[in-house]
């Protein structure tokens, strides 16, 4: 369970980073 939770958190961070990068790229 702990491993899955860590993977989930990492996925969220990556997703947020990609979204931020795309938003910055637009402006």
**CA gap 10, 21 in Å, rounded:** 16
**CA gap 9, 27 in Å, rounded:** 27
Among 26, 5, 4, 8, CA closest to 16 = 8
pLDDT tier at 6, thresholds 50, 70, 90: confident
pTM of the model: 0.45
Alpha helix (H) residue ranges in the chain: 2-26
Residue whose pair of structure tokens reads 């961070």 in the numeric block:
13
pLDDT tier at 27, thresholds 50, 70, 90: low
Query: Residue 5: what pLDDT?
Result: 78
Query: Residue 1: what pLDDT?
Result: 58
């Amino acid at each position: 369970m702990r491993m899955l939770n860590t993977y989930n958190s990492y996925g969220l961070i990556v997703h947020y980073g990609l979204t931020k990068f795309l938003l910055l790229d637009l402006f």
